[in-house]
Chain A
C-alpha cells in the first residue's frame, strides 16, 4: 500500500524522468485482453496521465450512453468501433501491429488511473465496474478466438476441460442443456467446448437448471463460458475497487493528481452531456433572457413545467432552480443573461435578497466563483435524463424531476394536453411507457409526435444524421433537436450535430 506514495512521486517527477529510462521493469503484455490484476509500475508523464484517462473516460461514457439508449450489442459494437480505434485502440497479437505494447500500456494505465478517480463513492464504483465490464465484454467478443482461449487459460478460473470420452459418456445429459427442441444435439455436444467448474462458482447457471451438474461440478458449454469470465471480471474489479477506496485517503490533498482525479470523476457524473455552457449551442439562435418564453416551446416537459412554475410562482425551489438553471446554461444562456433572467423572474423579491441568496448560486453554477475545481470545470454540467430520473426525487410543492416518472398519470396527462399533446393514441402510449418505467420512451414518443411533420421532412430530405435520430437522453439534446427541426432551412447545416460527446 505504501507504493501509492512511491508511485505518486514518480509521476510528479515527470519533468526529471520523462526523458530518462523507466526505473522499473516494464510490464509485458502477452495478451490483448487484461484482467487488470497487476498495477502499473513504469513511469508516465503527467500529460500522459491525464490524456490517457480522458481518452478512456470518453469510451466508457459512450458505452454507458449506448446502454441508456438500449442499443443492441451489435449496434453498440458498430457505434463503438470507430471510437475505440481513435481513442483506445487495442490490436490482436496476430495483427503484427508495431504499437502493440504502447496500446496495451495505455489501456492498462488508463484503467488504473480511472480506478483512482472512481473509487470514492459506491455509486461511482458500481458504475465504473459496470462500464468497464461492458468494455471488457466488447473486446472479449471481438478477440481472436485462439488468443482469447490462451488468455482465459491464464485467469486460473479453476476450469477443467471435459475430455472427449467424458463428453461422449455424458452426451445424453449434456444435450439437454444446449439449445431447445430435439435436433442433432448429440453432435452439438461433441462440437461444443465443455468445461467443469465447481457449481458454487456459477450460481446463475444452477438457478433454473441451466446446466448439468454432477458430483458438485457444473458442466458449462463454451457459449456460457463468456458469462463466467465476465462474472469473474466484475467480481475481481468490485473487490479491487473496494480496496482502492480504502487506500484513497492516502492521496494527500495537495497532491497534483487530486484535481485531475476529481475532474475526471466529476465528468463521469454526467457522461452524456455535451452542454457545458461554454459557447452557444446553436449558432444564430437568440439565447437571451427575454427570449426564453419564446424558446420554451422547444423544451421537454420537465423544463417546460419548470418554466411554467417559475412564471406562475415567480419562484422555484432549490432543486428546481438548479435543474432549470443548468439546462438554460446548456442551451447557451450565458452568465450575464442568466443573472438577468433569474433576477427578472424572481420579481417578488428585492434586489438585496436576490443578491444575497441567489446571485452567488447562479455564478457558482457557471464556474464563475467557487473553488479551483469548480472554476476549472466551468461549474456544473446540465443534468442528463439519467440524473433527473434518479436523483433528488421531487416532493410536494417541487417542480423539478421528470414528469414522466414523478407525476401521477392524471397530472402528466393534463401537462401534456396543455402542451398540445391531445392524440389519444400518443397519450395511451405514454401511459404504457410510464407503467413499464420506460420514461425515455415516453419523452421521445412525445417529441416525435410534436415534431412529426418536421421529422418526416428531414428524413425525406436526408438532412438528419443517424445520431440525430437516436433516442434522446438529455433535456438539452431535446431542445437542440427541437429547435433545429423547427427552424430547418433557416440554420446553417454545419451546426446540425446532435452527437453526444464527453467533455474532456
Chain B
C-alpha cells in the first residue's frame, strides 16, 4: 500500500474530539457521578498478608444506624479473572486472604462517616499463615502453597525454543550473559478508581459507571459473579483518567460496587483513595531476567536465551499472558536464528500484577538492549551498526509464527543517529556526560483476544439521519489516547466530510456495539479498520443516492469538501445535505455497520501460548538518550531524548506525538525513580505519591519526536501502534547512556541516586585497588 495522498481529515494534527470538555472542567469521570440518593460504599481490607479467615463478624457493623448493606465473600461464590482458564480470585476473599489490602467485605451507608465507623466495627478472626514477598521465599521447598492447584507456587511456567540455540552459541565469537533486576512498577493513572453502581430493584437491572479500559469484560464478569443475565446489566464508561493497563481487566471494586448496590437495593458510589488504587493496580511485576546473547565478531546475532522470573502476586490475573509476552517479543525485531525462552510467574503475597503498558515485554527488551550494547563495545562495534546488521527484511514470518508486513526500524535508527548527533557524541561527551541508544518493538493489538468468541475483532456502527450529521457508535474505550478522535477522523475522511459533522457516542453497552476494549494497542488497528469498513458502506449508499440525482455511475462520483460531483466534471455538484435527504427517501434513517476480523494467519504460532505476541503489525522505535550524572549525588539528569517511532501511518500526528512522548517519559519513571517496595512483613511501603515517585515536570526532559511511516498493509491507512513501544527503548538507552557517562553498567532498575552513588563508590574503590596493584606490579618489574 502506498502512503495515502490527498487526505483532508487524516494525517493532520487534530485536537481531541472530546478535548473541550476536558479543558473546561465539564468532563465527567466516574467519581463525578454522585446522585443525592447514592450511598457511600467502602471496602474492608485485609490487615494480614496471608491468613485463613476463621470468622468474620459483621453484626456490630450491620447494627449501626445508617448502614444499609454489608456484603462479604459469602455473597459471591464465583471467581473472576481476565483469562477464562485462570480465574482464581473472588471479588471479596472467602476462606483466605492472600495480601495486605485484599477486599474482605464492603459496606454501603448513608454517608462516608457512617460507612467508616461501620468499617471499624467489623471483626475478623484469622489464623495467620506463612507469607512470601520475594521470588526466593515463594519458591522455597518448604513454602506453603498460595493456591493448592499451583504446585511450587508457580502460576505458569513457559519453555520454548525456536531454532537450535546451542548451535547458535557455538557459532558465536562472543557469548555474554547478564542478570537484570527490574522493580515492580505501578500505572498510577491520575484518576483513582471509582464506580457508581445503580441497582433498579423493580426491574432487577444494574447500571454501572466505571473507570474501565474494558467495559465489555466488566460486563461479563458482573454477570458471572452476580449470577445475572447479561441483559440485566448496562455498563457505561464515562471519561477515564488514564489506565496504562491497570484497567484492562475487571477489578474487584467494580464487582463489589455491583454486588453492594444490589444488596442495598439502590445506588452505591464507590471511590477508592490513592492508597487503595495502588493496591488495586495490576502492576508490571518485579522481574529478574537472565539474558544470554551470541554474536559473531562482525556483529551478527547467532542465538539468544532468556530466562525470566516474575513476582506475579497473589492471584492469576493476566499473569499467564504477561509471562508469555516476556518471551514472545524476543522475536520480531532483529534477525536471530535461534531463540530460547524459559519463564516463570511466581505466586506470592503481594497484590496481583498484570498488564502494564508494554505488557510483559519491557524488562526483557531492557535486558537484551543493555547486553547488546555491552557486547558491541567489547567487539569494538558501533551499537547502531550492530543493530543495522541484524535488521529484518519484510515481509517475513518469525520463528514463533508472527507475520511481519512492514518494518521501519532501519529508518528509525537512521533518523535518531542523525538528529541526536550520535557520531559526535558517543564516548566524547566528557566525564559525567553520556549518550545511549536502544530499540524496541510492540504489537498493534493482540490478534487473538483473551476471551475468544469467534466474533469479529471490532464492530462500529454509523447512523445518518435527517440532520445530516453522522453518529459513530463505538465501544472502544477512549481513556485519553484519542481513539474517539481517530474514529471521527476516519469517518470524515472516507465520507469527505468536515470532522465536526461526526459525533462520537462511545462506551454504553445499551447503545454502542460491543468492543473488547483498550489494551495491547489494538484500537487504532482494529477499530480503525472497522470504522473504514462502516464508512465505506455509508459512502456507497450516499454515492448511489447522488448518482441518481447526478445521473452518473456511483463509481464516477467523488466527494470533495462535502460536495458530491462527477469526477473531472465542471459542475459544482450536490451539497452533502441534499444527498442525505435523497438517500433517506427510500430507507429512512440510515444505519450501517463495519467490522474487522484478524485473518487466521495473523493469529499466531501453533505452539502452546502461540497466540501471545501475534499481531497484525509491529511498531518499532529507536531512541537516543543523553544524560549527565552527578558523581557526588548519583543524580542522573536526562538532558535530551531523540525518539523515532514507526507507527505505520500517523492518522493523528498530534496524538501520535503525545503518545510517544508519554510512553518515553513513563519509561523514564521506571528507569530513574519509580518502584514499589514491601516491608519485610509484606506491608506495601509505597502506596502514596510521595514514596511512589512519578516524575515531576521539573526533571522531565525535552523529547524530540520523529514519526516514521512504514505504511502497513493491514493497518487502517497503513497505521500501527503508537502508544507503548517507545517506553521500552527509553530504559536501556538511558542505562547505556549512564555507562557512557560513568563507565558503570548498572543492572538494577530503577537507577536511583542512592543506588548509583553506592555503585560509583564501589567502582571508585575497585579502580583505586586496581591502580594500586598496577603500580605495585610496575614497581616490582622495575
- Whether chain B is bound by chain A comes out as no
Binding site for A on B (CB under 8 A): none
Binding site for B on A (CB under 8 A): none
